[in-house]
Every structure is written in C-alpha cells, then in structure tokens.
Amino acid sequence: MHESLPLLYSFIILRNTNRVLNADMTDVPFHPMTRYEQLIFDPKGFLVIPSVLSETEIQTVRNHMDNYKRDPNSLPEPHRAPIAGPAEFLIDHPRIMGILQTLIDPDHERILLESVFTSARSIDDSEPWRPHVGGTNVLPSFSYRHHNGRIYSAMTRVVWELNEVVKGKGGTCLVPGSHKANTASAHAGDWRQEADDPDSGFWGTYDCPPGSPVVFSEAVRHTGAAWTHPDDSRGAILIADNHVTVRHHEPKPCMNSTVIGGLSESRQGFFRDVWVLGNKR
C-alpha cells in the first residue's frame, strides 16, 4: 500500500469473507443490501443512497479529483486515476460491496471493475442528451434477471456524487423499469424516438446530498443531462462493475498496470482477467 495514503481510507478486504480491515486494523463489515432496497431496485432498476461518505471523505476525493484533472503529472504515477491514491477506498467501499454482492455475485472475488470515468460540468457546459440501452437484454455483459428470489444485474453502475444534486437540474436521467421492458427494446431496434424526448413522461431522476452513491443497472435506459444547478457544479465518479466472466468496456487507459500495481493487493483483484479458471490458477 502506498505509504502516503491516509489511514482512514485504507480498507483491506479479508479474503473469502464479507468484511474489510481499515489501516488501524478495525474490522468493518460489508453493509448488505436490504430487502427493502432490493424491493426498490428490482422494479425501478436504480437506487439512491444518501450521504454515505463523511465530510472528510468527500473533501479527500474532491481534492484528489482536482489534482488529477488540473495537473495529473503532479501526482505520483500510481495515483493518476480517479479511484487511485487517497480515493482508492471507493473501489471496495463496504456500503457498495454489500450491494454488489447482492446484484452481481455473493463472492466478491467474482466482481470485476471494468471501467471508470468522471463527470465534471457546470451551467456553462453543454451535455448531449444521448439515451442508450433499455429493454430486456440476453447479452451476458448487460443482462438483468430475477430468478428464484435473487437479482442478477450483470453490469451495475455506481455513480459517486461528490456535490449536491438537485432533482431535474443535471443528475443522470433514467427510465424506471426499462431494464425489464419487453415491448420496446433498444436492442431490438423498436425503442420509439418519442419516448426519448425529455418531456415524454418516461424519464425520472433524483436529488441527493454530496457523498451519495447512485446505483443502477446498465440495462436501464439512461443519459446525462444539462447541468442547470446554479449554486454548484457537477462532480461525479462513475464506476462500472461486472461479473468476472464477462466484460463490455475496454479498460480505460487511466487504469493501467502502474496504477493497478499501486493499489492495495486486495483491490488489484478487481482488475483481474475475464477468465475464472485462469484467475484461480
């Protein structure tokens, strides 16, 4: 582990358990997804969890993001990524890991982190309205199922909102339930253009305080939107998690071997190859 990491953010996953240790060796359990959260997530396809990060954690990630965007060369080479250095604790945050173990696989060693990028914009920036995905999908890298009382959400997006999001003023927009849509599917090519109009009545969004993760199935139809909140800019980190047997995205250049090698050993496992038997060997 890089010696400059603050102790507070240095969680270490205990192998083959549902717990982590932070750097002062305090035992921190994963926070399991509750039945009520599953009741919300299954029909809607997304879930907002307010105020997960502390003020100190929020400021730590913001500072890292500012340095990363403004002058990445000022950072140690292993820290030149949105979820590296002092922000790497977001990779396996106990609140999120418990949810991913419900949605992807109970064994955290079978969860893959396949993509990460940032969203930073203000009222002076334009955000193209680009709805994508939506509709029942049998492709394994996107599929969503509920079988024998258990959810399976192949690629699940975790959006860490670092600033306040006011409803209708720039947060991610989603079509609730579109991950289960059978009569209109983007994959079948019969999703109606009228449904993608922002004022069609199909679209929903959210509000949340800083430090809130938004978790949604990538199968939900979703898009970015213009940021119109005048009192703050948008600052978000978007992570895509998937099952270790499938991959949709090409890995982002920022998550290269130098950055991954600078992570704690347990976190390096989230970037393993898509080959289960090979990983075991």
Helix, strand and coil percent figures for the chain, each rounded to 5: 30, 20, 50
Q: Which two tokens stand for residue 243?
A: 């099952």
**Pairing between strand 212-217 and 156-161?**
antiparallel
| pLDDT at residue 128, rounded to an integer | 81
Nearest to 241 by CA among 43, 105, 127, 148: 105
Q: What pLDDT does residue 154 have?
A: 94
Kindly report the pTM of this predicted structure: 0.88
Phi, psi of 188, rounded to the nearest 5 degrees: -85, -10
Q: pLDDT tens digits, residue range 240-272?
A: 999 999 999 887 899 999 999 999 999 999 998
By C-alpha distance, which of 141, 165, 153, 172 is closest to 248?
A: 141
* pLDDT band at residue 29 using 50, 70 and 90 as cut-offs: confident
CA distances from 221 to 23, 60, 179 (A): 39, 32, 7
Quick check: 11 pLDDT over 50?
Answer: no
CA dihedral (178, 270, 224, 230) positive or negative:
positive
166-169: long-range contacts, CB 8 A cutoff, minimum separation 24: 166/207, 166/229, 167/205, 167/206, 167/207, 168/205, 169/227, 169/228, 169/229
The CATH fold assigned to 7-280 is: Jelly Rolls (2.60.120)
pLDDT at residue 25 tops 50: no
Selected residue with higher pLDDT from 28 and 80: 80
For the chain, what are the domain ranges?
A: 7-280
